[in-house]
Structure formats: C-alpha cells, structure tokens
Structure 1
Amino acid sequence: MIDQLTLTNFKAFQHAEIPLGPLTLLTGLNSSGKSTVIQALALLYQSYQAGFLKAPFVTDGSERRPLGGGGFLLNGELVGLGTGQDVLHEDFVGVELIVVAVAEGALHYTYGAEYEREQNLLPVTRIQVPATEEGPDRPAGQEGLYPEYFRARFQYLHADRITPAERYPRDHQAAIGRGFLGVRGEHAVNFLLYHARDEVPEGPLRHPGADSALLLDQTAAWMGELCPGVNIEAAPIEGTDTVRLSYGFGDALTATRRRRPTNVGFGLTYALPIVVACLTAQPGGLVLLENPEAHLHPQGQTKMAELGARAAAQGAQLIVETHSDHVLNGMRLAVKQGLLTPQQAVVHFFRSTNGSGVEVITPHIDVDGSLDQWPKGFFDELENTLVQLLD
C-alpha cells in the first residue's frame, strides 16, 4: 500500500508530501490540485506499462552505461497531460526538475525526469529504489525497480465514464487478459460477462442480501442499493465484437421485461464500472476513482462510499476525488461503524493559496466519525446558504 506520495515541480505542486491510506478522499475546489495526485500515480503506472520507466544507467562491473529510452510517458491509455510545459510547476526549483516518489512502508521509490518543453516523453534522470542484494542500479524490468501497486490489479476510472448505450466493446485483451475496466469503464460489461461466476471473497465486500457470492449477483445487490430491485444481465452480441447490457426490475415472480440502458436512469450505467472495480479489487491493488457520486442521488452517493470503505477493509487501496459531502459522510459512517479505523480513512482538503501555491489540509476523523477541524471552504456551502436564507 502507498503510504505517501511526494511531488516536486509537478503541475500544481512545487513540493508536497501527501499521506495516503487504504481509503483516501481528495476534496477541494476545482483546479486546486486534487487531480494532480491521481494523475501522478497513473503517470508512473502508464510509463511502466508502456516499458518506458527504466533506470537511466546500469552498472556493468566498473563501467556505468546509459540504458536510454526511459521516461515519463505523458500521453497514453490512462492520462493525456500534454507536453513538458504542461506538467512543469511554474515556480520550479532545483536541477532535476520533475520528481514523483512513492513510499510503501519502509520502501521508497523515487523517479526523476528531465524537463523538455515540447516533448511528451520526459527522459528519466534518476531512479532510486530500495537496496537489494543485486544493488540499486540493476537493469530495468526487474521487480525491485517498481512499487507493489504496479504488480497488483490496477484500475483508474475517470469522471467521464460510459453512458447508456446499445452495446459496449468486447476487448478480450483489456478486460480478460489484463483485467482492466478501461478509464471510462468501457470494458466493465465484458469483464462482468466473462467473470460473472467468479466468487467475491468472503469478507466485508460481500453483500448479505445478494442471491449468492457470485460476482454477477453481488454486483446486482450493490446496484440495488442505488436502485432497489434492479438486476443486470450481460450477453454477447453474436457476430460482433460487442456485448449488450440490460436491466430488469423485481424478483422472479414480479420481474418486468428487460430494459435497455438507454431506457433506464443515467446513474445506473455510470455507476456500474465503480461497483465492479470495488468488488474485484484485490489486496494490494490500487483503485483510482474520480467523482463516484456523479449522477447518483444522495443515498446512492453515501452507499458508494460504503462500498469503497468495504473494498479498503478487504485489503485494496482506493484514492477518490470527490465534491460530495455525502461521500465524505459515508466514509465517516464507515469509521463510526468500525468498518475502518480512523488511521485507515484519510481526508485531504486542497486549497489554492495566493499566487501559484497549494495548501493541503488534512482533517482527522475520530472513532465517532467526527472531524477535528472544518476549514473554510470544506463542504460548508450548505451552512453558508442557510445563513443567507435565514438572514
């Protein structure tokens, strides 16, 4: 699990050390630096998956030879950040310009890249990894160069997710070969079709009201928290590389006919990839979520937070960007109900300071779900509005 992310000269941050927990909420006003945290972790993973996150040098006896070809891949499957000028902090300091570091307990991994204004592959200048018997300058491709989250199941779901449609892609390599749902959740339906009969492991994630422990039934039960009585079905469309999703309502005796996603509330389809990502998150795996509350009613937003807390309690790590006080309160309830300890639930509030800086405030959740501070701008709009209405 990633305990801390350190960013230097990267986008909104000149330098920041950001603690992370099993479940971390990133909150704050728009363009305050929340997305930068998620993008930094996705950038490292994207560069690794593409084969570019390589050590800049390898020691061969007494000779230190350049490997070449290593770099931060700014534009790829997960994130599209532009060129060097788009990711360099405007008041950069130091020589090694852009540094992203992660700490997993006592293990620290640091990746530094050189700034090149017009390039979208920024050359790696330094990789520092935990010492091993082979030494820190080993050739790229060996596991000690990379943090654990690179090797466990990784999901990143953007705020812009799949919408109700007649069909969804049937990409075997992505959904089945890699277990990747796609940044828009576009492979979630095919993943669900293929893994429908997999069991959700016993533990906090299992919904007690589901018909069985099978993934399809568990998904339907959690979707039922968003829309009571809903059930889902995924089926291949023969002769095409697509799959069909449909919804039904009611039990076997009262069930209505199947309905297309286009004839059902927008929020159900938008939430489906998040439910699947949480239910299939593995211990040690990382799930990055943007705005899980989108298109959901308040009760559904709170239930989404509960599902995320249960995935974290089962051993996965979730980092969630949100604008929803219902998601925050769902997380607080998870602590009060003992699903997570206060140390496992981390909340950060990002606030722009005068000039180009970012202040990161970290309210602490107590065992009773209360917060030890409520900084100005932190989910206080309801109170501000009520004051004006009652004035």
Structure 2
Amino acid sequence: MNWITAERAGPRELLPLRISNDHARVGHHGELAAGLLYWRGQDVVDSSLLLHDTPPTLFNQVRGYMQRFFPGCDLRVTPIDGVSAVSLRLRSDNRSDFQRPQNVGFGLTQLFPIIVSLLAAQGGDMLVIENPEVHLHPYAQQEIGMLLAETAASGVQVILETHSDHVLNGIRLAVKQRKLPATDVRIHFFAHRPGQPAIPESPAMDDDGRLNSWPEGFFDQFDFALAKLM
C-alpha cells in the first residue's frame, strides 16, 4: 500500500536517494518520488494509461502528464555526487530555464508525487491519497480526478479523500466516458453534525456519472452562493 498524506513535502533543494529497493513507493509525504523516478524511470507504464504521443517509459510519461496539467512544464532528476540525494529541477514553461522547486509554482511539487505514484503503480496495488487537489486550479483538479479514475480502471485500488467537487466531477466524467465502470466506484460522505457521530451517506452512481442522491453539504455550496447572488 502507498499512502500519500495531505501534508506533502513542499519544494526541497535535495530529496532522498536510497538503494533502489527502498524506492518502491513515493513515501507518505511524496519525498521519495524523485528517487523512485531516478531508479525506475525506464520502467514501462501500464498500456491503459499511456500518453500515446510520448515514449512509454515512466520518466517520459511523468513528464508528459505534468505537461498535461502545466503546459510547457519539464523536469530533471539528477543524483548528487557523494550524497544520498537527488536534485529535482523544474520549469513551468519551455521559454524558461530549469529552476529549483522553490522558484516555480507550488502546484508542480504538490502534484509531482501523485503523478509518479499513479503511473508507477501496478495491478493489485493499493493507493491511498489525501487531497490531491491541493494548490491546483479547478481544471487541473478535474483532470486529476479523471486520472485517478483511469488508474483505478487499470486494476489499482484507489482510495481517495477529497474536499473538491472538481475532483469528484472528473471521476463522474470518466464514468460517463466509459473509462471506469460505475460499479467500481464507491462514494462516502461524512457530514458533521454537532453532538452526533459522523454517519456516512453513500450515494450511488449510474453509468452516466449521475448520483441518485445529493446529501446536504455534499459539494452544494456553489448552488447556495449562486442563489444568494441572484
């Protein structure tokens, strides 16, 4: 099992590089993702997740997916001589130089370990990911929802905790586009009611990504605000 917490490692000058067997996962905070990419960069990604205009190796597919979220983005992973560490260098567009992670948008370093973990996973693996939407704009949140659904369809069990309706809508779109069967999706909403235990409500999804119920407080704040604005 690979568990990535909501408190992911932020921009770091250097990241750990252990022996290859210790990089089977990206780490709870995503701190081992660059090392995993260094050791396993030539692995071939599951065919169902491949970007077909990109070489099938893990390193190139991670680059391709990062560019899908951040057009023009690129990355380098370089071992540091005499130190058990690698440096991760990023650029946010193809007109700029490679920069230290501290000098690019925070969303890049937050998304990077999630992309690595999804593409490096193999059938039968389990991924537990908290708040993949952190520091991503709404379109990117929807796209990561789609990619999480596509990863689940490849045979990886994905358990997701999110506060983003955009992530949920990305999953719903994946179901509507027949990328993931609705029967493979389970949704649980935990409402906070003062003085009462949090009892989950579990709306069901049909083959068009529609839910059979919408519990109070379940991503409906936009509608409440819109009603007040109008």
Larger gyration radius, structure 1 or structure 2: 1
The answer to whether the 8 A contact 1:353-1:359 is kept is: no
1:181 to 20, 23, 26: 26
CA distance in 2, matches of 1:285, 1:171: 22
Letter in 1 for 2:178: G
1:213 to 53, 56, 64: 56
1:346-365 → structure 2 map (5 Å cutoff): 346-353=186-193, 355-365=195-205
Distance 1:271 1:197, change over 3 A: same
Please name the residue that 1:228 is paired with: 71
Select 1:244's aligned residue among 74, 84, 87.
87
Q: Percent identity?
A: 39
The match for 1:5 is none
Deviation at 1:357, TM superposition (A): 1.5
For structure 1, the 5+ residue unaligned runs are 1-153
What TM-score, normalized to structure 2? 0.95
The SS at the match of 1:160 is coil
The structural deviation recorded for 1:354 is 5.3
Identify unmatched segments of 5+ residues in structure 2. none
Superposition deviation, residue 191 in structure 1: 0.6
Q: Distance in 1 between matches of 2:186 and 2:53?
A: 29
- Counterpart selection for 1:195 from 30, 35, 40: 40
Post-superposition shift, 1:333?
0.2
Query: What is the number of equivalent residue pairs in this alignment?
Result: 230
Paired position in structure 2 for 1:294: 134
TM-score by length of 1: 0.57
Structure-1 separation of matches of 2:9 and 2:111:
9
Q: Does the 8 A contact of 2:25 with 2:117 survive in 1?
A: no
More strand by share: 1
CA contact (8 A) 1:230 1:247 kept: yes
Match of 1:312 among 149, 152, 155: 152
Q: Give, in angstroms, the shift of residue 184 of structure 1.
A: 0.3
User: SS state of the match for residue 191, structure 2?
Assistant: strand
- Once the two structures are superposed, residues 145-189 of structure 1 have per-residue CA deviations (whole angstroms, 9 ceiling, x without a partner) of xxxxxxxxx2100000011121111122xx633502111010101
Shift of 1:272: 0.7
- Check whether the contact 1:176–1:194 (CA below 8 A) recurs between aligned residues: no
What stretches of structure 1 move > 6 A for 4+ residues in a row?
none
Counterpart position of 1:94? none
Shift of 1:345: 1.4
C-alpha contact 1:189 1:234 (8 A) present in aligned 2: yes
Contact 1:278–1:308 under 8 Å retained in 2: yes
CA–CA distance in structure 1, aligned partners of residues 145 and 64 of structure 2: 15
Secondary structure of 2:187's partner? strand
The within-5 A match list for 1:46-195 is: 154-172=1-19, 176-177=21-22, 179-195=24-40
Q: Which has the higher contact order (CA 8 A, sep 6+)?
A: 1
Q: Determine which structure has the larger helix proportion and give its number.
A: 2
SS in 1 for 2:88: strand
C-alpha separation between the residues in 2 aligned to 1:298 and 1:176?
36
* Residue 363 to residue 178, structure 1, CA distance change in 2 (3 Å): same
Contact 2:46–2:119 (8 Å) recurs in 1: no
| Equivalent AA in structure 1 for residue 52 of structure 2 | P
